[in-house]
Structure 1
Amino acid sequence: MVEPVSERAAAPHTLPAVSWSADLTTRDGYVFHVRPASPANEPALAEFFEHVDREDLRFRFLSAIHKVGQDQLRALVTVDHEHIESFLAFDPATGRIIATAMLAADESLTRAEVAVAIRADFKRRGISWTLLDQVAAFARAKGIATLESIESRDNHQAIELERQRGWIASACPGDPASMMLRMTLSA
């Protein structure tokens, strides 16, 4: 589970957040807008999580939660943009958040964990696949060498999606209910 670490001062080599705003196209031709989150997005993010399946909430937060709390929401929109980035995907027709992807890197910026969530009514449209590619491009640009994702063994869709994108699955040390998926990024 990706959890933001304490807020840090941004390093002088921080990539500008605005450069990671883009219109992305899925393999099926659906176009959506993605950009880094900001504190102003907190209410819209709360509304977004109301439309994420309960099972998907459990998979995203690796706990049986029924509602994403205020502290969790704040942590998803208040990031340092150096070690942690939270991306939001928007449907251009409605302006609503349809997916989120968070990347949390270690102190040395060599390894980072990724977590994705998507609205139930936007699943199976290639959005998660495309969003993972955007996060990987961002991580590569920061010099991060390895992406990781901890998945519940029950989350067959996410595990299959990540395997299709080149991630390697292995047992999660100390947690038989979870899988560790890793992707080595090329320079």
Structure 2
Amino acid sequence: MEIVRIGGADAFSMRALGARLEVDPTAFYRHFRTKNELLDALADILIAGDEPLPTTGDARADLRASLHQLRRSLLRYPTMAAVVLRRPPGGRAYWARANHAVGLLRGMGLSPQDATSAYQTLLFYCLGHALSEARATAAAVARDQRPVTPTATFNPPAHELPDLAAAVPFLRADTLAQFDDGLELIMRSLPA
């Protein structure tokens, strides 16, 4: 993860890992058949995060907390966010997180089909938002600067784009506030 954090996913190789750990790179092939298999394992670790899945008994709060956990985990290693998104779901952590969320949605009274649709909507929102944030964070890290969202300085010409210009005061530079606003809009569509 440290190799990916510093140099990005493109900097990761069995050779780079071997150099970092001062071992022969072929040693990793005893545990992983390919570099992609090792990247899958790293993606699953990232999806698992550092915190247990929330189980307070409040399905809505637990669902919101789980999505925040996933976002934080993805942003901890911003150069890995795109790697996670490109990998097909299949690791233990991914399925555990999905099962947890679908179970919460089912507990809120949704049918299996509606719970699945709601989960996918929430997941894709979370992943897309995190990817957008991760891109800005990774670029800022590469420049050794503080991340800034593109919306922070957006100023469209009102005579050409009046509706967008009217929306500018509501654009937020604070990405957590953006995430919470969008998440709340989606969550409002769920049963109480």
Same fold (TM over 0.5): no
- Bigger relative contact order, structure 1 or 2, given CA contacts below 8 A and separation 6+? 1
* Higher alpha-carbon Rg: 2
TM-score using structure 2 length: 0.28
Higher share in strand? 1
